Amino acid sequence: MMFLDQAKIHLKSGWGGDGCVSFRREKFVEYGGPNGGDGGKGGDIIFEAVPGLNTLIDFRYTQHFRAERGHHGMGSDRHGAQGQPLVIPVPIGTQILADDEDRTLLADMTQAGQRLVFLRGGDGGKGNAHYKSSTNRAPRQFQKGFPGQEMSVWLRLKLLADVGLVGLPNAGKSSLLNAITNASAKVGAYAFTTLKPQLGVVSHRSREFVMADIPGLIEGAADGAGIGDRFLGHVERCRVLLHLVDAGGEAPTAAYDIVRGELEAYGAGLEDKPELVVLSKSDTADARRIGTISRAIARRTGEAPLVISAMTREGIEPLLDLILEILHLEGKPVSPAATPEAGSGWSPL
């Protein structure tokens, strides 16, 4: 399944049905009164956050959504039926934005089962029975149905996860995700192996949490370089950031500074989230080098980083224990995010 994190769609709620002009016709009743029924209300446009979805790809192929029109009124005081509402399922974490220059936030679907009546259908028109009076015994006046609402919006998905993996390209994020979850993220010895966000469910000590791996960040990501601002949006709602630094890479401390600078430049509270700094790929560096890097990072953060290897599983258990401890201190240990589907690709607009 392809992964898509933003899409533009056009919405139109249903028109109301027209009122009816009708007169009662019965045997031996020469002048029956008006009995035209009212039109039905048009259908609403409703968004619903549903579990089991983690992509907006369906909106790439269907961009226009229109609710049913209300039925017209009929004789014998029969009112028209209401138009059926159109329920649009979206992934949990979907934001609805106005189609304007600032992309104003209109709604945020963050809870499973959350429903939002976004556009209301038009009211139905009145039939001629409403217009009878002592001076107008046979009105032929009726009311047309009222138009529904219409607008274009942007949908933007920000994944909900407990732990977000950040770091420069090729820092070992996908290898770690594969080692501790059932995800099957692509792994390679080159930058930007990961081109799409990946989710995995970690089971540890009879508890579970959701981990998100985003593509590697580069300098200037907060300003959109390498569409990094889109990637950073997926960790806005993570409760903990797991910052991976390649122990065997060039200038590891500079790599930490670059990613940390991008988190602060992006804002949205990322700079204040709990952060665990981890030296990954410890199997590619000797103990002396790891000690030097650890001391340099400790001078920046006040704490020595954890040291792990996804290949040998060194340090994995202590890391997961610490994550569970932090999540427990922050509240519920299990994320409300849906269990993800593996193997989705990402196609930026």
Does residue 194 contact residue 185 with C-beta atoms inside 8 Å?
A: yes
| Residue 149 scores a pLDDT above 90 | yes
> pLDDT (tens digit, 9 = 90+) per residue, 216-227?
565 554 444 444
Closest CA to 244 of 222, 202, 211: 211
Using CA atoms, how far residue 325 sits from 177, 255, 301, in Å, is 19, 27, 19
Over the chain, what is the mean pLDDT? 82
Domain limit, last residue, from 157, 173, 206: 157
Closest CA to 39 of 118, 117, 122: 122
Where does the pLDDT of residue 189 fall: very low under 50, low under 70, confident under 90, or very high at 90 and above? very low
3-state helix, strand, coil in the chain (%, to 5): 25, 25, 50
**pLDDT at residue 127 in the model:** 95
**pLDDT at residue 217 in the model:** 65
SS3 199: strand
* Average pLDDT over every residue of 3-7: 77
Does residue 266 contact residue 236 with C-beta atoms inside 8 Å?
A: no
The widest CA-to-CA distance across the chain, in whole angstroms, is 109
My answer on whether 96 and 203 are in the same domain is no
Q: What is the DSSP string of 169-186?
A: TTSSHHHHHHHHSS----
Looking at residue 56, its amino acid is: L
> pLDDT (tens digit, 9 = 90+) per residue, 302-323?
888 889 888 888 889 999 999 8
**184 vs 44 pLDDT, higher one:** 44
Domain limit, last residue, from 130, 157, 184: 157
My answer on whether 145 and 196 are in the same domain is no
* Average pLDDT over every residue of 278-307: 88
Closest CA to 209 of 172, 163, 244: 163
Does residue 44 contact residue 151 with C-beta atoms inside 8 Å?
A: no
My answer on whether 301 and 201 are in the same domain is yes
My answer on whether 12 and 135 are in the same domain is yes
Does residue 214 contact residue 164 with C-beta atoms inside 8 Å?
A: yes
**pLDDT at residue 72 in the model:** 96
Does residue 41 contact residue 70 with C-beta atoms inside 8 Å?
A: yes
My answer on whether 204 and 298 are in the same domain is yes
> pLDDT (tens digit, 9 = 90+) per residue, 22-32?
998 888 777 78
* Average pLDDT over every residue of 102-123: 92
Q: How many domains does the chain have?
A: 2
In terms of residue numbers, what domain contains 293?
163-346
My answer on whether 210 and 325 are in the same domain is yes
Domain at 272, CATH number: 3.40.50.300
